[in-house]
């Protein structure tokens, strides 16, 4: 299995159309779009609840999700999150991309890439909660139903990325 | 009609499975597009590879065309589709922060999950980072709560903002995306493949792409030509059920029940009074809001009702019942939940909670129905115990023109504002929850 090279990615327009159909089906069936960061918040509160349940009850933002007798994992988004993970894994296995590796720019070490990924993830997680949604939940889902805030958000994400890209070019080039 | 009301299924395996399967489709679509590869995502910001833009905008326009075309064909009720509420300032600041996280970390939350699922270690570290960031936000949000809640515009779409029909905005969105794709192809050829300007074809030549673009434009134009369903179309969808509810008087609520609901601190009772301003000034229920019948078809007004919380009950009332019933039909058709008519209207209310004889007197005979059955001597607005029978208060009347001596200065006759024990009534209000309470990302 690992001896054969991975299959190429599909044409981005075809991939985008597939994603668009999934997004439409999600809206059509459930009335809701796609998302990941909200459910990550639920899982995070559930984990926190294992170690410090009183703390979950005390902080309003956590208590809303998993305070008292509420089960933070009892949320449709958590199942979508699980599905996203499984779907990615299935597609990775089928297309021979399921292997341990680190994708990085040519001029950074694996360890540096991991540190930056952790840091970027933390920044992203914080921003996603502030913006009430991630790229998929806000930009993609909100964009498809023409929400004004989602379009403003989308341009802000690209703006932030392009503004900083020059200064971190050594990470990727 | 779609979207389906899945709320009754909540907690069952089938319910969870629906979301799981949608997630599988989502994850697979991201993975086959190459969104599990951080280099591919980061390349977007150096204009070498525009995969992110192409995939995202293709997905947005394909989904938007399908959503609004199904809505135009009457297959999907868009009013029940979740639209991310707009909080402009925190959305923009959060977006800028995410842009920084994107270029530093190489993913966004959904894509990092897909990367981690295919054992990409950078994806695993990114996911761990997201957990940390989400935790840090929960710990700190209370220190800037006012900003987090600021610039709230509710369910606010681009068509609302521009004042254009949905179909037209979909056409414009498709055209905008196609221009962006055209630019993206040129950018990739120049920055990515390193071609010189004169070697880059400016006219698209791929037949498949032209066919795809053409199909999108045709479907978008079809959406615009068909137009979104009108209020009357929407009433047609639910007319049989709605007429049954009216026929069996299921939605006509006794005044006493309204009073009891107003006493319940966990509920928000919203009374819409569809009468003339003059009649409204003579007497109205405490907290009532006057509207014209036309307002029930005003998108901005209806949007404000749709945005209300699940604990809101909306009552419509008019002099009798007929005008309120018309407003009920219009609002019901547009998806307003927990919507009722006050039985008997103002006439019924005043018969149940009669005002002081100094203020109004019942007209003799069987006056009533759709014309006011009471003659008001002074306009009291809601300054009468009859306007808020939930609060026991004494009537305050400075002068009493109808008093026995006729000179208008006599003391008000005893009228203590107590309307006796609440009469028995059949409970009509059954609180319904919205099908959609939260976005996938919420």
Task: Render pLDDT for A74-115 as a digit per residue (tens, 0 to 9).
Answer: 788 888 999 999 999 999 999 988 888 888 888 888 898 999
Structure confidence by residue, pLDDT tens digits, B58-82? 999 999 999 999 999 989 988 888 8
ipTM above threshold 0.85: yes
What pLDDT, on the 0 to 100 scale, is given for residue B419?
Answer: 57
Chain A contact for B164, CB < 8 A?
A: no
Q: How many angstroms separate the CA of residue B333 from the nearest CA in chain A?
A: 18
What pLDDT, on the 0 to 100 scale, is given for residue B69?
Answer: 96
What pLDDT, on the 0 to 100 scale, is given for residue B405?
Answer: 45
Tell me, rounded to whole angstroms, the distance of Cα B136 from its chain centroid: 30
Which of A10, A26, A31 should one mutate to test binding to chain B, selecting the residue with the greatest count of B CBs within 10 A? A31
Give chain B positions within 8 Å (CB) of A92.
31, 36, 114, 117-119
**Three-class SS of residue B370?**
coil
What pLDDT, on the 0 to 100 scale, is given for residue B15?
Answer: 85
What pLDDT, on the 0 to 100 scale, is given for residue B435?
Answer: 54
Q: Which residue of A has its CA nearest to B87?
A: A149
What pLDDT, on the 0 to 100 scale, is given for residue B329?
Answer: 94
Q: Closest partner residue to B133 among A16, A32, A126, by Cβ?
A: A126
Q: B65 lies in a domain? A: yes
Q: B394 lies in a domain? A: no
Among candidate residues B311, B138, B83, B440, the one with its CA nearest the CA of residue A75: B440
Boundary (domain end) residue, out of B199, B231, B263: B231
Pairwise CB contact (< 8 Å): B64 & A100: no
Count Cβ atoms within 10 A of the Cβ of residue B241 and give its class: 0-12 exposed, 13-18 middle, 19 or more buried.
Answer: exposed
Domain limits for position B338: 233-387
What pLDDT, on the 0 to 100 scale, is given for residue A75?
Answer: 81
Q: For residues A111 and A99, what is the distance between their CA atoms, to the nearest angstrom?
A: 18
What pLDDT, on the 0 to 100 scale, is given for residue B406?
Answer: 45
What pLDDT, on the 0 to 100 scale, is given for residue B441?
Answer: 43
Write the DSSP assignment of B324-360 as a string of letters: HHHHHHHHHHTT--SEEEETTHHHHHHHHSPPPTTTE
Q: How many angstroms separate the CA of residue A95 from the nearest CA in chain B?
A: 8
What pLDDT, on the 0 to 100 scale, is given for residue B104?
Answer: 92
The CATH number of whichever domain residue B242 belongs to comes to 3.40.250.10
What pLDDT, on the 0 to 100 scale, is given for residue B167?
Answer: 94
Pairwise CB contact (< 8 Å): B19 & A30: yes
Residues B11 and B115 in one domain: yes
Pairwise CB contact (< 8 Å): A59 & B76: no
Give chain B positions within 8 Å (CB) of A150.
84, 86, 91
Q: Which residue of B has its CA nearest to A171?
A: B104
Pairwise CB contact (< 8 Å): A126 & B55: no
- Domains held by chain B: number: 2
Q: Please report the number of interchain residue pairs, chain A to chain B, with beta-carbon separation below 8 angstroms.
A: 593
Q: Which two tokens stand for residue B39?
A: 């280099």
Q: Which two tokens stand for residue A4?
A: 């054969």
Q: Which residue of B has its CA nearest to A63?
A: B138
Residues B206 and B261 in one domain: no
Q: For residues B124 and B51, what is the distance between their CA atoms, to the nearest angstrom?
A: 22
Q: Closest partner residue to B56 among A16, A43, A119, by Cβ?
A: A16
Chain A contact for B223, CB < 8 A?
A: no
Residue B272 host element (H or E): strand B268-273
What pLDDT, on the 0 to 100 scale, is given for residue B184?
Answer: 92
Q: B416 lies in a domain? A: no
Q: B441 lies in a domain? A: no
Q: B398 lies in a domain? A: no
Residues B130 and B99 in one domain: yes
What pLDDT, on the 0 to 100 scale, is given for residue B11?
Answer: 72
Which of A96, A148, A164 should one mutate to test binding to chain B, selecting the residue with the greatest count of B CBs within 10 A? A148
pTM: 0.83
Residues B251 and B163 in one domain: no
Q: B438 lies in a domain? A: no
What's the rounded mean pLDDT across residues A145-169?
92
Q: How many angstroms separate the CA of residue B297 from the nearest CA in chain A?
A: 21
Residues B298 and B166 in one domain: no
Residues in chain B, overall count: 442
What pLDDT, on the 0 to 100 scale, is given for residue B99?
Answer: 93
Residues B241 and B302 in one domain: yes
- At residue A162 the predicted structure's pLDDT band, cuts being 50, 70 and 90, is very high
What pLDDT, on the 0 to 100 scale, is given for residue A85?
Answer: 93
Residues B96 and B222 in one domain: yes
DSSP B228: P
Residues B180 and B326 in one domain: no
Q: B303 lies in a domain? A: yes
Q: Closest partner residue to A161 among B99, B153, B156, by Cβ?
A: B99
Chain A contact for B328, CB < 8 A?
A: no
Residues B109 and B203 in one domain: yes
Count Cβ atoms within 10 A of the Cβ of residue B407 and give its class: 0-12 exposed, 13-18 middle, 19 or more buried.
Answer: exposed
Judge whether A165 and A64 are in contact, CB under 8 Å. no
Using 50 as the pLDDT threshold, list the residues of chain B that sit under it. 403-417, 436-437, 439-442
Residues B168 and B221 in one domain: yes
Give chain B positions within 8 Å (CB) of A37.
109-110, 130, 134, 441
Q: B403 lies in a domain? A: no
Pairwise CB contact (< 8 Å): B3 & A101: no
β-pairing verdict for B252-253 and B339-342: parallel
What pLDDT, on the 0 to 100 scale, is given for residue B14?
Answer: 83
Residues B122 and B237 in one domain: no
Write the DSSP assignment of B375-420 as a string of letters: EESS--BT-SGGG-TTS------S--TTSTT-SS-SPPPP--S---
Return the half-sphere exposure (C-beta side, CA atoms, 13 A cut-off) of residue B390. Answer: 16
Pairwise CB contact (< 8 Å): B84 & A138: yes
Write the DSSP assignment of B184-197 as a string of letters: HHHHIIIIIS---G
Bond preceding residue B3 cis, omega within 30 of 0: yes
Residues B224 and B237 in one domain: no
Give chain A positions within 8 Å (CB) of B135.
44, 48, 125
- At residue A2 the predicted structure's pLDDT band, cuts being 50, 70 and 90, is low
């Amino acid at each position: 299995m690992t001896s054969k090279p991975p299959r190429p990615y599909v044409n981005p327009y075809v991939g985008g159309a597939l994603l668009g159909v999934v997004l439409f089906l999600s809206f059509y069936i459930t009335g809701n779009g796609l998302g990941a960061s909200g459910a990550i918040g639920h899982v995070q509160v559930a984990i926190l609840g294992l170690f410090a349940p009183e703390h979950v009850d005390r902080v309003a933002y956590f208590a809303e999700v998993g305070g008292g007798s509420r089960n933070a994992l009892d949320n449709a988004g958590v199942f979508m999150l699980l599905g996203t993970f499984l779907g990615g894994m299935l597609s990775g296995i089928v297309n021979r991309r399921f292997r341990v590796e680190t994708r990085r720019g040519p001029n950074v070490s694996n360890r540096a890439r991991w540190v930056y990924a952790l840091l970027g993830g933390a920044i992203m997680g914080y921003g996603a909660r502030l913006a009430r949604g991630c790229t998929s939940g806000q930009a993609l889902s909100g964009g498809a139903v023409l929400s004004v805030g989602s379009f403003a958000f989308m341009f802000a994400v690209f703006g932030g990325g392009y503004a900083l890209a020059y200064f971190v070019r050594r990470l990727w080039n | 009609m779609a979207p389906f009301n899945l709320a009754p299924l909540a907690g069952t395996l089938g319910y969870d499975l629906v979301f799981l399967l949608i997630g599988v489709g989502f994850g697979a679509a991201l993975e086959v597009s190459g969104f599990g590869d951080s280099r591919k995502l980061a390349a977007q910001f150096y204009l070498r590879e525009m995969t992110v833009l192409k995939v995202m905008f293709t997905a947005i326009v394909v989904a938007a065309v399908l959503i609004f075309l199904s809505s135009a064909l009457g297959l999907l009720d868009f009013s029940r589709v979740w639209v991310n509420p707009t909080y402009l300032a925190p959305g923009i600041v959060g977006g800028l922060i995410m842009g920084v996280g994107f270029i530093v970390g190489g993913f966004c939350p959904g894509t990092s999950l897909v990367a981690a699922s295919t054992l990409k270690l950078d994806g695993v570290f990114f996911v761990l980072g997201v957990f940390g960031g989400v935790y840090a936000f929960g710990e700190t949000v209370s220190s800037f709560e006012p900003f987090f809640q600021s610039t709230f515009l509710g369910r606010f779409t681009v068509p609302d903002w521009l004042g254009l029909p949905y179909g037209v905005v979909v056409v414009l969105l498709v055209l905008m995306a196609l221009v962006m794709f055209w630019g993206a192809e040129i950018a990739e050829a120049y920055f990515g493949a390193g071609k010189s300007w004169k070697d880059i074809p400016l006219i698209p030549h791929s037949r498949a792409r032209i066919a795809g673009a053409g199909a999108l434009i045709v479907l978008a134009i079809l959406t615009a030509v068909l137009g979104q369903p009108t209020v009357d179309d929407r009433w047609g969808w639910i007319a049989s059920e709605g007429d049954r509810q009216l026929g069996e008087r299921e939605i006509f609520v006794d005044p006493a029940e309204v009073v009891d609901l107003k006493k319940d601190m966990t509920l928000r009772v919203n009374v819409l009074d569809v009468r003339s301003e003059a009649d409204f000034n003579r007497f109205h229920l405490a907290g009532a809001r006057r509207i014209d019948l036309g307002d029930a078809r005003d998108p901005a007004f209806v949007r404000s009702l749709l945005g209300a919380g699940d604990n809101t009950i909306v009552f419509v009332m008019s002099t009798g019942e007929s005008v309120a019933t018309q407003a009920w039909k219009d609002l019901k058709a547009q998806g307003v939940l927990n919507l009722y008519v006050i039985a008997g209207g103002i006439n019924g209310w005043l018969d149940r909670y009669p005002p002081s004889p100094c203020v109004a007197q019942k007209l003799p005979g069987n006056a009533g129905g759709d014309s006011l059955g009471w003659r008001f001597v002074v306009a009291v607005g809601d300054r009468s115990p009859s306007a808020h029978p939930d609060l026991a208060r004494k009537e305050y009347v400075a002068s009493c023109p109808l008093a026995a001596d006729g000179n208008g200065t006599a003391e008000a006759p005893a009228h203590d504002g107590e309307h006796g024990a609440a009469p028995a009534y059949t409970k009509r209000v059954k609180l319904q929850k919205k099908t959609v309470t939260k976005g996938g990302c919420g």
